[in-house]
Amino acid sequence: MSRFKTLQEMFKRYRRPGDFFFAMVFLMFGLFLLANIPDQTVFVKRTKLFAQPAFWPILSIGLMTVFAALHAISSFVSPRLDGRWQEVTFWLRSLEYVIWFMVYVAIVPLAGYLFSTILFTVTITYRLGYRGRQAWMAATGSAVVIVILFKSFLQVKVPGGEIYELLPTALRSFMLTYF
């Protein structure tokens, strides 16, 4: 005896809260990308199809949009569940950390990589609810390790902070090079 009685039962889909909203946002994003592709890339004369600069972006964005449309249609015809806006609100709460990171990136050229990273990690640690001295020391220690790893060992070029201009010449060049 088979576990599935019909093909329709085999491909039955259960809608989740927020699924339709996500599908529509993804579909709109795909349509936006498709509408803007002519401004971003071109087809070149006397070039093979697979070597065209526009071929792979159009193919990938086109397929993304097709699958987003299929997702939107299947979400639309599935039974609606309560809790859509609670789910959307939960997703939007994650954007707070994007804003924290954007503030961090804006502060680095002013305060320097070391001080900004320490400030960022301690602030995020506090925001996440860790209030003890040990948590702040761990955040500070990890920030220092991150800075030493990226700036000294990996030699990532990070702009020096304007605050370094206030330091004596020898210390300023040391901080610009290693921190």
- Tell me, yes or no, whether 87 and 101 share the same domain: no
Residue with tokens 């309560």: 82
- Tell me, yes or no, whether 121 and 165 share the same domain: yes
- In whole angstroms, how far apart are CA 93 and each of 21, 42, 126? 16, 38, 17
Domain that holds residue 41: 7-92
This prediction has a pTM of 0.60
- Tell me, yes or no, whether 163 and 123 share the same domain: yes
Single-letter amino acid, residue 17: P
Number of domains forming the structure of the chain: 2
- Tell me, yes or no, whether 104 and 88 share the same domain: no
pLDDT in tens, 49-93: 778 888 899 999 999 999 999 888 887 877 777 777 787 888 888
- With bands split at pLDDT 50, 70 and 90, how would you rate the model's confidence at 1? low
CA 105 from centroid of its chain's CA atoms:
14
**What tokens appear for 93 in the block?**
């709460």
- Tell me, yes or no, whether 112 and 157 share the same domain: yes
Of 63, 92, 121, the one marking the end of a domain is 92
- Tell me, yes or no, whether 72 and 14 share the same domain: yes
- Tell me, yes or no, whether 132 and 65 share the same domain: no
- Tell me, yes or no, whether 168 and 101 share the same domain: yes
Of 92, 125, 143, the one marking the end of a domain is 92
Length of the chain, in residues: 179
pLDDT in tens, 5-32: 665 665 566 667 778 888 899 999 999 9
pLDDT in tens, 84-142: 778 788 888 889 999 999 999 999 999 988 999 999 999 999 999 998 999 999 999 99
Among 37-46, 60-69, 153-162, top mean pLDDT goes to 60-69
Nearest of 59, 37, 35 to residue 49 by alpha carbon: 59
Nearest of 114, 118, 103, 117 to residue 163 by alpha carbon: 114
